[in-house]
Amino acid sequence: SVNGFIAPLKVTSKSFLILQESAADMFDPEGASKRGAKRIASISIEERTRRAMLAEATEDRMVLLMDELEIVLLQGQPDDKEKEENIQTLSLQIKSLQDDYNTIVSGLPFPLLGDFNGTDDIIKE
């Protein structure tokens, strides 16, 4: 299983290695929460609740995709073109979810929450 949102597998897939490196460098859920603490504290309880629910759903989807990625990595031949495409697709989806998660928990505007151009209740830094 995937540990800490970064799969510890050693594989030859360039797509997965790129995901692994970028995840190690950029996906820091606790850091995003800490950086956004001031913004989150300034928004309504309703908004915080929506963000918490969306963050949890995003995290759940990330874990499912990482489990799926691990299965794909363990199946088939190492040079299989379809396998490489699946790995690349899953890697991009996971990376996108990591970015979404960081945005949600840091209190930054997020379109699914109705924050298309920012909101009045978010402190601008």
pLDDT tens digits for range 54-98: 999 999 999 999 999 999 888 877 678 888 888 999 999 999 999
On the question of pLDDT at 121 being above 50, the answer is: no
Query: Which pLDDT does position 25 carry in this prediction?
Result: 52
**Whether pTM exceeds 0.75:** no
* Residue 10 confidence class, pLDDT cut points 50, 70, 90: very low
On the question of pLDDT at 18 being above 60, the answer is: no
* Of 36 and 85, more confident: 85
pLDDT tens digits for range 37-52: 888 889 899 999 999 9
Long-range contacts formed by 39-48: CB under 8 A, 24+ apart: 39/106, 39/107, 39/108, 39/122, 39/123, 39/125, 40/105, 40/106, 40/107, 42/107, 42/121, 42/122, 42/123, 43/107, 43/119, 43/121, 43/122, 44/121, 47/113, 47/119, 47/121
Kindly state the helix (H) or strand (E) to which residue 102 belongs, with its residue range.
Answer: helix 81-105
